[in-house]
């Protein structure tokens, strides 16, 4: 995808997005997957191409860049079920959002809706209050879905776009340690700064010459975080460890902080105190940190000390990908003592 792009009137990353995103492919897939097409109007998707900082709707990017059809087959299943549930129209603001990160929030809600439909009856989207509700036994449960993103949404956009410029370009950050990228209006300037250096194709070509001798070659380092953009080489004998920092903090401490922040984010939110019993369902899929925690030890072995708002009856933690389905085994409830919890998920390390 390397080419010379030097229009000074447009942000660098916008020029790359416009060059990479295939609108003909977007239109074909909207027609091929009717439930997705009903959720995302082509005109609305194109309008979001003028909205900073990403200059693309989160679904348009995926429809127009992803190569595999299998994930769209899965998304079609989720949308077909979700649109059949009562109050689907109240999901419209999330569908129309131009925030790249909202894709993962939406998919997590769709996955939870599918699961609730399997374990209960009369599943409904919410006009106000928690995202979903379901009748389980003789109780109506309310579920608030949380997919913590913080800086990860921006990081993943950066990572995807870099990979489209050249598959040898990668991005990394220190796992299980504080990580923060620019927010709000500063995101656009940050992205323009990163991608501006790639507008001249010679920048990467020269880095590849260097990588043939010694790699990784650092292409960008964020001044106030551990973000590093680098180029990998092909010859294993040219690899030099230590050029890109690979620090790792405490997995246990990370998990405690992540869950505490997810719980605190819902204090006083969506009228949880008036919708009981309730459960806050957290999906940590986006976090490479959490994947490391899971690989090092079982989550149930990690001591979790949570101070939870009394309005929250239960908290579950999962790491569920788009191509997966939520089950009782992966919906691990790590806080809560309500008698009906065993009908909803797998009780684990209940505090």
Other Cβ atoms within 10 Å of 111 Cβ, number: 25
* Average pLDDT over the chain, rounded to an integer: 89
Residue 227 domain-assigned (yes or no)? yes
d(Cα 275, Cα 289) in Å, to the nearest integer? 32
Residue 160 domain-assigned (yes or no)? yes
How many angstroms separate the most distant Cα atoms in the chain?
A: 68
- Over residues 33-49, the mean pLDDT reads 98
Which residue has better confidence, 74 or 248?
Answer: 74
Domain total for the chain?
1
- For position 20, what pLDDT does the model report? 97
pLDDT in tens, 273-300: 899 999 999 998 877 777 676 666 554 4
d(Cα 19, Cα 22) in Å, to the nearest integer? 8
Find the domain containing 177 and state its range: 152-238
Residue 35 has pLDDT above 80, yes or no: yes
Residue 146 domain-assigned (yes or no)? no
In the 8-state DSSP scheme, what is residue 216? P
CB 155, CB 187: distance < 8 Å: no
Residue 185 domain-assigned (yes or no)? yes
pLDDT in tens, 296-347: 655 444 445 667 778 888 888 888 999 999 988 888 887 776 767 776 776 6
Residue 191 domain-assigned (yes or no)? yes
CB 95, CB 39: distance < 8 Å: yes
Residue 215 domain-assigned (yes or no)? yes
Residue 151 has pLDDT above 80, yes or no: yes
Residue 325 domain-assigned (yes or no)? no
Nearest one of 153, 218, 164, 161 to 187, comparing CA atoms: 153
Residue 119 domain-assigned (yes or no)? no
- For position 351, what pLDDT does the model report? 42
């Amino acid at each position: 995808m390397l080419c010379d792009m030097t229009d000074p009137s447009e942000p660098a990353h916008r020029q790359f997005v416009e060059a990479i995103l295939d609108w003909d492919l977007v239109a074909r897939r909207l027609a091929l997957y009717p439930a997705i097409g009903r959720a995302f109007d082509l005109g609305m998707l194109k309008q979001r191409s003028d909205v900073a900082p990403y200059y693309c709707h989160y679904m348009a990017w995926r429809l127009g860049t992803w190569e595999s059809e299998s994930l769209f087959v899965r998304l079609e299943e989720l949308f077909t079920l979700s649109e059949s549930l009562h109050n689907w129209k109240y999901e419209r603001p999330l569908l129309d959002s131009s925030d790249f990160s909202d894709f993962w929030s939406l998919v997590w809600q769709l996955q939870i809706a599918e699961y609730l439909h399997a374990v209960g009856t009369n599943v409904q989207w919410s006009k106000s209050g928690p995202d979903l509700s379901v009748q389980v036994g003789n109780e109506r449960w309310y579920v608030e879905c949380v997919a913590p993103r913080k800086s990860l949404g921006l990081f993943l956009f950066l990572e995807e776009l870099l990979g489209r410029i050249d598959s040898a370009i990668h991005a990394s950050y220190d796992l299980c340690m504080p990580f923060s990228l620019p927010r709000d209006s500063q995101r656009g300037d940050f992205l323009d700064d990163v991608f501006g250096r790639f507008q001249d194709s010679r920048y990467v070509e020269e880095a590849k010459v260097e990588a043939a001798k010694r790699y990784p070659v650092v292409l960008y380092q964020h001044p106030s975080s551990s973000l590093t953009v680098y180029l990998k080489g092909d010859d294993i004998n040219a690899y030099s460890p230590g050029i890109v920092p690979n620090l790792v903090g405490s997995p246990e401490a990370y998990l405690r902080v992540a869950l505490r922040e997810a719980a605190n984010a819902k204090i006083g939110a969506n009228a949880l105190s008036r919708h009981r019993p309730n459960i806050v369902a957290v999906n940590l899929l986006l976090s490479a940190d959490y994947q490391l925690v899971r690989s090092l030890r079982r989550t149930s072995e990690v001591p979790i000390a949570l101070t939870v708002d009394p309005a929250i009856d239960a908290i579950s933690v999962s790491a569920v990908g788009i191509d997966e389905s939520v089950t009782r085994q992966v919906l691990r409830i790590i806080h809560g003592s309500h008698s009906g919890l065993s009908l909803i998920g797998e009780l684990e390390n209940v505090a």
